[in-house]
Amino acid sequence: MTLDQQALATVFTEARSHNGWSDKPVSDALLRDVYDLTKMAPTSANCCPARFIFVRSPEAKEKLRPSLSSGNLEKTMTAPVTVIAAIDSEFYEKLPELFPHADARSWFTSSPAVAEETAFRNATLQAGYLILAARSLGLDTGAMSGFDKAKVDEAFFAGTTWKSNFLINLGYGDPSKLFGRLPRLPFEDACLLA
Ligand SMILES: Cc1cc2nc3c(=O)[nH]c(=O)nc-3n(C[C@H](O)[C@H](O)[C@H](O)COP(=O)(O)O)c2cc1C
């Protein structure tokens, strides 16, 4: 079964990166639904290294404020939810549960470089999956790398093994605040058939 054109438009072809938001709230139940789709998409050795902090209370938004770049400040402070897409640098501690048929934990405890590359690759994939999951459930999204990672990590993750990767605003977008749609590379420029 393939998705119909309307579904593809919702998730890909008509979906946009939003800069302004309507007042319509986003429930915690919907955030759980977004995560429950996101978690089902694949990661290597089922390692699931992404962690997601759904920042939606005014107090938590204020904790985020000092780390935001000027261009990302207003849209983030007004978004109903800002997700800190994070990475658990010790994701491998969950592998006895997540990948029980092999000693996968040792693949990563024996090589910090492999652990770091695996964590970054898969957590970034999972954050992308979260964008598509949110769009699939009718939300608009706006990803952002313009923020001070050290400040976010200090404010939210001090004393833990979690580290921020990027931010994703969630809500119902205000189309009047969209930037113009930018071109994408055609197949001929971005792909090879080998
Ligand atoms: C990982 C990531 C980081 C981004 N960082 C920012 C950012 O800091 N500020 C911003 O305004 N847009 C940011 N964007 C949005 C992109 O500029 C936008 O997705 C791209 O121009 C395509 O826009 P469209 O999705 O509306 O077609 C980011 C997008 C991604 C995926």
Q: Does domain 22-173 have CATH number 3.40.109.10?
A: yes
CB 165 within 8 A of CB 88: no
pTM metric for this prediction: 0.98
The protein residue with its alpha carbon nearest to ligand 1, atom 31, reads: 143
- How many residues can be counted in the chain? 194
Question: How much is the pLDDT for 96?
Answer: 98
Divide the 194 residues of the chain into consecutive groups of 10 and give the mean pLDDT of each group.
Answer: 97 98 98 99 98 98 98 98 99 98 97 98 99 98 98 98 98 97 98 98
How confident is the model over 98-117, as pLDDT tens digits?
999 999 999 999 999 999 99
Atom of ligand 1 nearest to the CA of 131: 31
Closest to 40 (Cα-Cα) out of 129, 170, 165: 129
- Report whether residue 184 contacts ligand 1, using a CB cutoff of 6 Å: no
Task: Look at residue 29 in the predicted model and tell me its pLDDT.
Answer: 98
Please, are residues 54 and 26 in contact by the beta-carbon 8 Å criterion?
Answer: no
Report how far ligand 1's centroid is from the alpha carbon of 145 (Å). 8
Mutate to test the pocket of ligand 1, among 145, 169, 170 (most ligand atoms within 8 A of CB): 145
Going by their DSSP bridges, the two strands 50-55 and 162-171 should be labelled as: unpaired
Domains of the chain by residue range: 22-173
Q: What percent of the chain has pLDDT over 90?
A: 100
